[in-house]
Amino acid sequence: MEGFNALIVKIGRGVGGVVGTLYQAGRDSVDTVIRNVIPFMAFISFVIGLILTTGIGDWIAKGLKGSASSLPGLLLISVVCAIPLISPLLGPGAVIAQIVGTLLGVEIGKGNIPAQYSLPALFAINPQVGCDFIPVGLALGEAEPETVEIGVPAVLISRLFTGPLSVVIAYFASFGLYSQK
Amino acid sequence: MNLQSLILLSADVTVDKQGGFLGTLATGAEDFIKVFNKGGSVLLSLMGGILPTLIVLLTAVNALVRLIGAEKIENLGKAAARPGIQWYPVRYIILPFVAVFVLTNPMAYTMGRFLPERFKPAFYDSAVSFVHPILGIFPHANPGELFVYLGIATGIKQLGFGLGDLAVRYLLVGLVVIFIRGIVTEAITARMMKKVA
């Protein structure tokens, strides 16, 4: 009887633990969605609404169409985003990358930019990722102050090379992507 | 104002455009509300299309990580700290991938603490560059910055293409890019450290 009781307690605890974990996981994910995802969706929806109904979309399209639908244009975007003085300014919250991504998405949806360019474009708009966050990120990794002092310029300079390079790699990886319907 | 009058206000009016001062005002008001009607329908399609899947996926992965335990990946961090060319892929491909997948942005960067100082900037560069390429398949890793991927993906969807091809290629190219970034940044860091010392 003792052993049977112990078994029941063990099963009960195990099941309770798993269910509790799942429930907590659900609570966390809903929390994330309400705090981080939906506010951004609201903001992006407003931007898209503005682009689609007013004339703003047309001149953005003209500006982007030339640069975002050719390899040299995409390279130019990536180089500008990777300039060490600009990249930390473009970084915070990836807001710039998200807005530009949405603008490009609208133009791709309208057919102004070939769908194949979606992959290199994803890298072209994002060589500045995390450039605003280097000291904090290194501190999270328990880096010494001396490492931070060297690490910040090291990452920023590295992006100047790897940013455009990532666009080239993505460009060659995009062959055969959405080429036929 | 009740709901019906709101709907009336936002409905498309088929009467000819009026002239004069009041007519201009009326046209302006219609154009004004049109912007938000369009935005609202975009918001609804986003929330109806992606959000339910995202919530379920987030829940599943969160639960998985909790059940396994985030501390299990510490051994991987220790392995990645070893010198030698064969540990480069571990340090700049496997460790960033696992760290971003399990710990998500921004806690993934804490895995840097297992590495010697000279690898830390390169690991940060590698890990932070992966928080977007992972979004196509595992959006739980960085839900706050979903639109870097989703913005462009929405356009692809409108064209009637599937997103799988783009998501997989984004992830794979991302892995190649973070590997290169890790190596380049490590070399630059080593150079700068030599200069200072």
Which amino acid, residue A165?
Answer: L
Whether the ω angle into residue B106 lies within 30 degrees of 0, i.e. cis, is yes
pLDDT digits (tens, 9 = 90+) for B76-135: 777 777 777 778 888 888 888 888 888 877 778 888 888 888 888 888 888 888 988 998
What's the pLDDT at B32?
84
Cβ-based neighbours of B160, under 8 Å, separated by 6 or more = A181
Q: Which of A88-92, A117-121, B3-7, B143-147 has the lowest mean pLDDT?
A: B3-7
Contact state of B169 with A136 under an 8 Å Cβ cutoff: no
For residues B189 and A154, the answer to whether their CB atoms sit within 8 Å is: yes
Instruction: Please tell me which of the candidates A30, A52, A119 has its beta carbon nearest to residue B38.
Output: A52
Q: What is the pLDDT of residue B18?
A: 66
Cα–Cα dist A17/A11, whole Å: 10
Q: Which residues from chain B sit within 8 angstroms of residue A141, using beta carbons?
A: 109-113, 115, 120, 123-124
Give per-residue pLDDT as tens, A91-126: 776 777 888 888 888 888 888 788 888 888 888 888
**Quick one: average pLDDT of A24-34?**
86
CA distance A133 to B145: 14
Shortest distance, CA B1 to any CA of chain A (angstroms): 23
Distance from CA of B65 to the nearest CA of A (A): 9
Task: Find the helix or strand (DSSP H, E) in which A31 lies.
Answer: helix A2-32
Q: Nearest CA of chain A to the CA of B11: how many Å?
A: 15
Q: What is the pLDDT of residue A181?
A: 46
d(CA B132, CA A94): 10
CA A69 distance to own-chain centroid? 20
For a pLDDT cut of 90, what percent of chain B falls above it?
A: 0
Q: Determine the average pLDDT of the residues in B54-72.
A: 80
What is the helix, strand, coil percentage profile of chain B, to 5? 80, 0, 20
Judged by CB atoms closer than 8 Å, whether chains meet at B152 and A177 is answered as no
Between chains, do A32 and B189 touch, taking CB under 8 Å as contact? no
ipTM above 0.85, yes or no: no
Whether B9 has a pLDDT exceeding 60, the answer reads no
To the nearest whole Å, the CA of A1 is away from the closest chain B CA by 31
User: Which candidate, B180, B104, B90, places its Cα nearest to that of B142?
Assistant: B104
In this complex, which of A24, A47, A137 lies closest to B124 when CB atoms are compared?
A137
CB A102 within 8 A of CB A46: no
